[in-house]
Amino acid sequence: MMKSKKKLIVIIVASLLLGAALMFAALYFFPLNKSQIINKLEKEVTITDEGISEAVSKLYDAVVVVESYKNNQKVSSGSGFVYKKGDTLAYIVTNTHVIDEAEKVYVTFSDGSRKEVSVVGKDAYSDIAVLSIKADYVLAAATLGSSEDAKLGDTVFTIGAPIDSEYYGTVTRGILSGKDRMIEVSIESSNDYVMRVIQTDAALNSGNSGGPIANSNGEVIGVTSMKLVSNGVEGIGFAIPIEDVLSYIDKIEKGETIARPFLGVSLINLSDLYNLYQNSITVPEEATGVVVASVVDGSPAAKAGLQKGDIIYKVGNDEVKSSAELRYYLYKYEPGKTVQMSYIRNNKSNTVKIKLVASE
């Protein structure tokens, strides 16, 4: 037994020695070319990043600083960009809240030239305003792209004047973080409203408002509108999709009034238990939607038979969970159109068609 173990050990040791000898001989007679190995590794791990400088240069001269004045005092500033240049006039888009209180509006171009512009029109709910200027003053017009074709994770960038005009032309880069976000905002101090937006982690500040957000080809896919500000929240910025922007600027540019439909109800969210109690309204625990608090006499809602305590849960085919959402979906319809609404009354579901009128 002991002899067998000794024999096995000898065989193993001999095999190891033979293997080592063969390896030494191979390396001695057939040396490796180290430079070839290094060069091969370098080729395999080479990383190139061309950045977005070319895309930025395509858009840069189309972006402007927008400054609003009242009583010869600057009241606000933001950004904007030339979206169309004709033979005599060029048109600039920005946010309504940037020029809302203005008596005079000036824009500054990338070459430092500063010109007064005319306000063609604006719309508070879409937060879109259109300015016009002589075409000869304009350096370049932006190329418009598509937010619908953009994919999550795509590179995007903004150009604007964060904080103030002193930082004009600041470029920030990020990715497309989200699409079709429904963000609740405050309009005209008290009315809540929902906006459909795209989300990015590119750094945005108040002076970026009205400026472009573009893809890596330098094509504008949205107009910067707001930044979510909250303790512990960073890198969440929003922009209005360019498709929505175009639907509004076409009407504004033509001088058409963007009329909003009037329903004729006051509403209470289901989460607002205090106001429900104050109005003596009780709702089922499992209910979803928004509660009718009162109905205006002679209004479309009154003519359709809506009553206090009804819980509206659908506008057309869109489900609603708050007054802000209901207003958003309602405003997709033009005055004169008929909308179908679904509501709960006495624990029973009902559907009614309502012909809308223009809001005064």
Q: How many CB atoms lie within 10 A of CB 57?
A: 11
Q: Is residue 164 annotated as part of the catalytic site, yes or no?
A: no
CA 137, CA 52: separation in Å to the nearest integer?
27
Q: Is residue 79 annotated as part of the catalytic site, yes or no?
A: no
Catalytic residue (one of 61, 127, 244, 310): 127
One-letter amino acid of 88? T
Catalytic residue (one of 147, 165, 209, 323): 209
Catalytic residue (one of 97, 177, 310, 342): 97
Which residues lie closer than 8 Å to 208 by C-beta, 6 or more apart? 78, 79, 158, 160, 161, 162, 224, 227, 237
Which residues lie closer than 8 Å to 95 by C-beta, 6 or more apart? 78, 127, 128, 129, 209, 210, 223, 224, 225
User: CA distances (Å), 357 to each of 255, 256, 258, 330, in order?
Assistant: 21, 17, 13, 12
Q: Is residue 294 annotated as part of the catalytic site, yes or no?
A: no
Strands 261-262 and 237-241: unpaired
């979803």: which residue's tokens? 288
CA 79, CA 73: separation in Å to the nearest integer?
18
Residues assigned a catalytic role: 97, 127, 209
